[in-house]
Amino acid sequence: MAGLRRAEVAQLAGVSVEYYSRLERGNLTGVSDSVLDALARALRLDEAERAHLYDLARAAGPAARKRRRPPPQGVRANVQRLLDAMTEAPAVVMNGRTDALAANQLGRALFVPVYAGPSRPPNFARFTFLDSRARDFWGDWDRIADDTVEMLRAQAGRDPYDRALTDLIGELSTRSEEFRTRWAAHDVRLHRTGIKHFRHPVIGELHLTFEVMDLATDEGLSLVAYGTEPGTASEDGLRLLASWSATQAQDADANRS
């Protein structure tokens, strides 16, 4: 909570100043759920911050290094079929590292600059901070950059021993001052719904709503689907995107023939 001194937070949480100082330094080994709850109340943590606190505590526990199953490197066939059946909404399946593991035709068309980059699988964080096209593509680059770092920070709390995530954070920290500055802020936030603004290289401006849905059977994977408000220019733009992507697919099929 802004403005509270360490002693005041400790008093509100019902712990000693020395104990709170230890927690503040990141030593969460053996902390009980009741103490975590008290700290969350004292600091008035929101849902994302509270979840991050619990993730950090679990990571400090004795079972933390007994790694859970490695994150999926792709999607199940049923998930891809579901994506392909979504013909009017761009959709992408992502993991916590912001890798795009699968998409439908409209999703690949929407994110054509991301898929054009060298990263495989395409990675949204790498695109946002390291690709010169990102500032043109994202209509609100600063907000997307903040959101991306907040998602990676939350993922680092959930799975601190993910080597690929550690490597990604190291790469971005080394190569991007914008990332490095944001990472140092330690902000976390949930991004489940909202509006994103795009400047598509072919279609132009698009303002799309999005919904993030966790895939319950595939731990760590989320399906992100995009739509538009009815009767808007973006609705027309999404139809144009569908027409363009269909033409691109037909041309690709013809070239393979």
Whether residue 22 has pLDDT greater than 60: yes
Q: Is the pLDDT of residue 103 over 50?
A: yes
Average pLDDT of the chain, as a whole number:
85
Q: Which residue has the tokens 């399946």?
A: 93
| Host H or E run for residue 47 | helix 47-60
Q: What is the mean pLDDT of residues 67-86?
A: 82
Q: Are residues 50 and 103 in the same domain?
A: no
The predicted-structure confidence for 202-229, as pLDDT tens digits, reads as follows 999 999 999 999 998 998 999 999 999 9
Same domain, 143 and 22: no
Higher pLDDT, 74 or 233: 233
Residue pLDDT, tens place only, 131-144: 999 999 999 999 99
Residue 35 has a pLDDT of 72
Angle, helix 141-158 to helix 163-175, in steps of 10 degrees: 140
Q: Identify the pLDDT of residue 27.
A: 66
pLDDT at 5 over 60: yes
Q: What is the pLDDT of residue 2?
A: 46
Say whether both 247 and 154 belong to one domain: yes
Assigned domain for 250 exists:
yes
> Over the Cα atoms of the chain, what is R_g?
21
What is the arithmetic mean of pLDDT over 54-76? Answer: 64
* Model pLDDT, residue 119: 86
Entry pTM: 0.77
The CATH code of the domain that includes 158 is 3.30.450.180
Query: Domain for residue 67, yes or no?
Result: no
Residue 113's pLDDT is 97
13 in the same domain as 137: no
Q: Structurally, how many domains does the chain consist of?
A: 2
Under a CB-based contact definition with an 8 Å cutoff, are residues 15 and 38 in contact? yes
Question: How does residue 248 score in pLDDT terms, banded at 50, 70 and 90?
Answer: confident
81 assigned to some structural domain: yes
Rounded Cα distance, 255 and 235, in Å: 31
Mean pLDDT within 43-48: 68
Kindly state whether residues 217 and 167 are assigned to the same domain. yes
pLDDT at 1: 42
Element (H, E) at 144: helix 141-158
106-122 pLDDT, tens digit per residue, is 999 999 999 998 889 99
Token pair in block for residue 69: 């199953």
Do 177 and 120 share a structural domain?
A: yes
Let me know whether 107 and 171 are in one domain. Answer: yes
Clarify whether residues 86 and 32 are in a common domain: no
Domain of 199 in residue numbering reads as 77-256
